[in-house]
Structures are given as structure tokens and as C-alpha cells.
């Protein structure tokens, strides 16, 4: 997964976007990858860092990676960009 973030001052809450390219597979695979990313973000970002716009980009490994590892990857990525809750 790839995480891109932009710090926006003065806005409460966090805005999330999810995307997956056609390199992952057909529509079913892309939707499954987005659902897994959404579930991981829900597990990590409750209530979420205030004032951040985040985009989570799914990769082919998003489909096969164990969910616990996916959540750990998201926590690591958020810590690296400074958006850890």
C-alpha cells in the first residue's frame, strides 16, 4: 500500500480517499482491495488525526497480505508522514 498525506490547518477530522489501479485486476479484485484498505483505515484511524487529507493506494499485495500485517503497514506509513493518531 502507498499512503499520501497533506496536512491542512484549521480543519477538524480526517478526510480519506481510496484508489486502486487496473494493474491489481478486474473490478472485483479492485473493490476487494478498497474494502480491505477501508477496514484497515477504520481500525487505525478512530477517531483520526485532525487536519489531514489521506489517500491510500492499493497494490497487488493488498489482496493477499494478512489483515493484521496490513494494519501494521498502515500504522508504520502514518508514523512516517507524521499523521499517526
Name the strand (E) or helix (H) holding 5: strand 2-7
pTM: 0.89
- CATH class held by domain 2-81: alpha beta
- How many CB atoms within 10 Å of residue 38? 13
Burial 9-21 (b: 16+ CB within 10 A, else e): eeeeebebebebe
How sure is the predictor about 51, in pLDDT bands with cuts at 50, 70 and 90?
Answer: confident
Q: Where are the domains of the chain?
A: 2-81
Q: Could you tell me the strand order of the sheet in which 2-7 lies?
A: 2-7, 52-58, 14-20
DSSP 49-70: -TTEEEEEEE-THHHHS-HHHH
Written as nine digits, the cell of 46 is 478512530
How sure is the predictor about 30, in pLDDT bands with cuts at 50, 70 and 90?
Answer: very high
Asked if pLDDT for residue 22 goes beyond 80, the answer is yes
Amino acid at each position: 500500500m502507498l499512503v499520501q498525506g497533506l496536512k491542512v490547518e484549521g480543519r477538524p477530522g480526517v478526510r480519506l480517499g481510496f484508489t486502486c489501479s487496473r494493474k491489481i485486476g478486474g473490478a472485483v479484485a479492485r473493490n476487494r482491495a478498497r474494502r480491505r484498505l477501508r477496514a484497515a483505515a477504520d481500525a487505525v484511524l478512530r477517531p483520526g488525526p485532525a487536519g489531514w487529507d489521506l489517500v491510500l493506494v492499493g497494490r497487488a499485495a493488498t489482496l493477499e497480505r494478512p489483515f493484521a500485517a496490513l494494519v501494521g503497514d498502515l500504522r508504520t506509513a502514518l508514523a512516517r508522514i507524521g499523521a499517526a493518531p
